[in-house]
């Protein structure tokens, strides 16, 4: 039996910037939009993120080996690991790839870049949606004004 623990992605150690899922929910998200950087700044950051991002999820897994004499077969706290895996979907299939320990930090940084890419996409999309909604509202107001003008001419 495997013990699976979802990995919380963050930027590389020492970095002040971390992925924060709370930025994408509720009132905190609205605050983020009001302080949103310009679309151009986000697109510049996006260029940097595109260089290293890797889509998928990271999981740390502890395992029980097949040796009945090993301590892991009797004590779940003594299982082997944790081992890092990258999981992703490609060509209609789910893949799980073992990440060697020496590449762990690099893949965590690439995964954090993927999460930042998604965050930037949400921010750009929110700005585009707000702009579209303002235009839609102006169109509606113009139509209402036109109807009101026609009604006033009839009376």
The 10s digit of each residue's pLDDT in 126-150 is: 888 999 999 999 999 999 999 998 8
User: What is the pLDDT confidence band of residue 3, given thresholds at 50, 70 and 90?
Assistant: very low
Is 86 within 8 Å of 96 (Cβ atoms)? yes
Cβ contacts of residue 56 below 8 Å, gap of 6+?
86, 87, 88, 111, 114
Q: Is the pTM of this model over 0.85?
A: no
């Amino acid at each position: 039996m495997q013990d699976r623990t979802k990995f919380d992605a963050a930027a590389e150690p020492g970095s002040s910037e971390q992925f924060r899922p709370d930025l994408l929910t509720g009132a905190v998200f609205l605050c983020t939009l009001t302080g949103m950087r310009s679309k151009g700044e986000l697109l510049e950051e996006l260029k940097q993120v595109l260089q290293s991002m890797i889509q998928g999820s990271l999981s740390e897994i502890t395992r029980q080996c097949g040796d009945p004499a090993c301590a892991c077969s009797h004590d779940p706290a003594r299982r082997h690991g944790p081992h890092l895996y990258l999981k992703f979907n490609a060509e209609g299939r789910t893949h799980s790839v073992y990440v060697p320990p020496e590449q762990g930090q690099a893949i965590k940084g690439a995964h954090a870049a993927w999460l930042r890419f998604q965050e930037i996409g949400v921010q750009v999309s929110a700005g585009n949606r707000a702009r579209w909604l303002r235009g839609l509202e102006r169109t509606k107001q113009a139509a209402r004004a036109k109807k009101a003008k026609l009604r006033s001419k009839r009376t």
